[in-house]
Amino acid sequence: MSTASTQAAPGRATRADVAKLAGVSTAVVSYVTNAGPQSVAPATRKRVLEAAAALGYRPNAAARSLKTGATQLLGMVIPDATNLYFAELAVAVETAAVAHGFDLLVAHSHSSREREAQLMHSFTSRQVDGIIMLSTVADQSATTLGATKTPFVEFGCNIGTPGGLAFTVDHRAGAREGVKHLIEHGHTRIGLVVGPEMAGIAHSREVGWMDALADAGLRRGPIFRADFSRAGGLEAGRALVESAAAPSAVFVASDVQATGVIRAAHEAGVRMPDELAIVSFDASPESEYTWPALTAMQQPIDEMADAAVEAIVRLRLSEPAESRMFSTTLVRRASCGCPPSVAQ
């Protein structure tokens, strides 16, 4: 690779220049920069992207869109960016999107099905090449989200959109494992902090809690319902510690709620995990920095993001793609009573 060949002025290099530097045809350069219509081996894709970066090659996005019908943009809808778990998901999807030659537009639905439908329409009108939906709304209007020819996948939970692919974890099995871990610590009265009664993720995690207790022959502890937020967790936590029959352990359906529960316990002088052991769901970045650090069920976010974006690429190429369900992993920390040598 000559020095002169890598010093083209930014934006002035041509597809032929990139092809020559990468040792491929101009067609392969087009497949990489347009994410299709044919797939390219990862090593070749990397070589083309490195050559394009070295030459400062920038395809004309408007012209490319008119010619190919592709914008190299993906749209993603998340409920709330202030929730670090959703923010982590968005970062993982963006990383996967960039690896496939896409940029990512992220919008917030504020947990409104009406807003979700509006954003679907907006992304479609902008001619994005695919849409990734992370919904916490559970009602019977999911069909409105599937009314698009744009490749569309659901992420985090399956909301039952007709024709939509889903990339999620087994929330029920994960919750069951988390509660089982509390039982293994000797707890026989285990409560639940969860969101408002509904279908979807919250319901699946609640059923997993029930499963674990039933498997162990234990009666269900008290349920405290509140919004999936720090404030909601604080409200539920205060109700929990003030209860006349407070449980010795609690499974919390999300880290963001667990953060509020921990504050409530501290305010009430409840010692954790001695007087209240906690296991939560998500293992988001903040869960490692609560005091005590949260034991939690972790989702393979990066793997899920890669699979979701890969599915969109396949759908655009008219190749077969399937939904996938992933398993969670128990991350042991101090909030459940695991010794420091086991905590991560």
**The CATH fold of domain 73-169+301-327:** Rossmann fold (3.40.50)
Give pLDDT tens digits for 69-103.
Answer: 456 899 999 888 777 888 888 999 999 999 888 89
**The CATH fold of domain 10-59:** 434 Repressor (Amino-terminal Domain) (1.10.260)
Give pLDDT tens digits for 206-252.
Answer: 999 999 999 999 999 999 999 888 999 999 999 999 998 899 999 99
Q: What pLDDT sits at residue 145?
A: 53
Q: Does 205 score more than 80 pLDDT?
A: yes
Most confident of 125-139, 145-159, 184-198, 330-344: 184-198
117: confidence class by pLDDT, cuts 50, 70, 90: confident
On whether the CB atoms of residues 316 and 256 are closer than 8 A, the answer is no
Numbered ranges of CATH 3.40.50.2300 in the chain:
73-169+301-327, 171-300
More confident residue, 281 or 2: 281
From residue 272, give the alpha-carbon distance in Å to each of 6, 207, 238: 59, 25, 15
Helices (H), ranges, 126-160: none
Q: Mean per-residue pLDDT for 130-138? A: 77
Radius of gyration of the chain measured on its C-alpha atoms: 24
On whether the CB atoms of residues 132 and 100 are closer than 8 A, the answer is no
1: confidence class by pLDDT, cuts 50, 70, 90: very low
CATH second-level architecture of 171-300? 3-Layer(aba) Sandwich (3.40)
Q: Does 255 score more than 90 pLDDT?
A: yes
Give pLDDT tens digits for 16-45.
Answer: 888 899 999 888 887 887 666 677 888 888
140: confidence class by pLDDT, cuts 50, 70, 90: very low
More confident residue, 110 or 179: 179
Q: What pLDDT sits at residue 112?
A: 79
Q: What pLDDT sits at residue 95?
A: 93
Q: What pLDDT sits at residue 138?
A: 53
Numbered ranges of CATH 1.10.260.40 in the chain:
10-59
> Two tokens at 163?
């024709």
Of the candidates 333, 295, 80, the residue with the CA atom closest to the CA atom of residue 174: 295
Q: Does 135 score more than 50 pLDDT?
A: yes
